[in-house]
């Protein structure tokens, strides 16, 4: 649960920062107001969206890749999320649908959503802080 909360916060902060980089801003006319509204909207939307996408994805990875490491699951989830981003953006780009004024161009859409997908996959599935730790006492060989 803590990992999910951290993932939501990372996604929210990344979204809020991306919204204030280059004008025109999506949520408000000034950078501080845009950051605030993007942050609040991210806190309301991303828990639902990430729960709908990441929890079934993690279950599917555990089911179809049972012997794999957590790092392999994170890489596979990153690839799946990149494919989802491509399936979301590519049809509109190939059809010639113009982007909205606050999105600037398809390059910005590609960069943001791919970085967003990789950051979400890394924060949700990558095993941080496990290297160099001793295994639990009951799993050590030759104790007692």
Question: Is 101 or 30 the better-scoring residue by pLDDT?
Answer: 30
Which of 118, 114, 95, 98 lies closest to 106, judged by CA?
98
Residue 129 scores a pLDDT above 80: no
Tell me the pTM.
Answer: 0.81
Percent of the chain at pLDDT exceeding 90: 72
Q: Give the tens place of pLDDT for each residue, 12-71.
A: 999 999 999 988 888 889 999 999 999 999 999 999 999 999 999 999 999 999 988 999
Q: Measured between alpha carbons, how far is residue 9 from residues 34, 53, 97 in Å? A: 17, 16, 31
pLDDT band at residue 141, thresholds of 50, 70 and 90?
low
CB atoms within 10 A of CB 66: 7
Q: Measured between alpha carbons, how far is residue 140 from residues 67, 135, 137 in Å? A: 21, 6, 6
């Amino acid at each position: 649960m803590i990992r999910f909360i951290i993932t939501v916060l990372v996604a929210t902060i990344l979204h809020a920062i991306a919204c204030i980089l280059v004008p025109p801003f999506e949520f408000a006319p000034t950078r501080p107001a845009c950051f605030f509204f993007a942050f609040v909207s991210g806190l309301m939307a991303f828990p639902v969206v990430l729960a709908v996408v990441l929890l079934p994805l993690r279950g599917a990875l555990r089911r179809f890749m049972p012997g794999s490491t957590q790092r392999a699951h994170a890489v596979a989830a990153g690839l799946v999320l990149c494919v989802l981003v491509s399936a979301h953006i590519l049809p509109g780009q190939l059809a010639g649908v113009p982007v909205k004024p606050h999105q600037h161009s398809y390059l910005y859409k590609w960069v943001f959503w791919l970085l967003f997908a990789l950051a979400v996959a890394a924060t949700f599935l990558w095993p941080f802080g496990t290297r160099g730790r001793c295994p639990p006492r009951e799993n050590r060989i030759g104790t007692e």
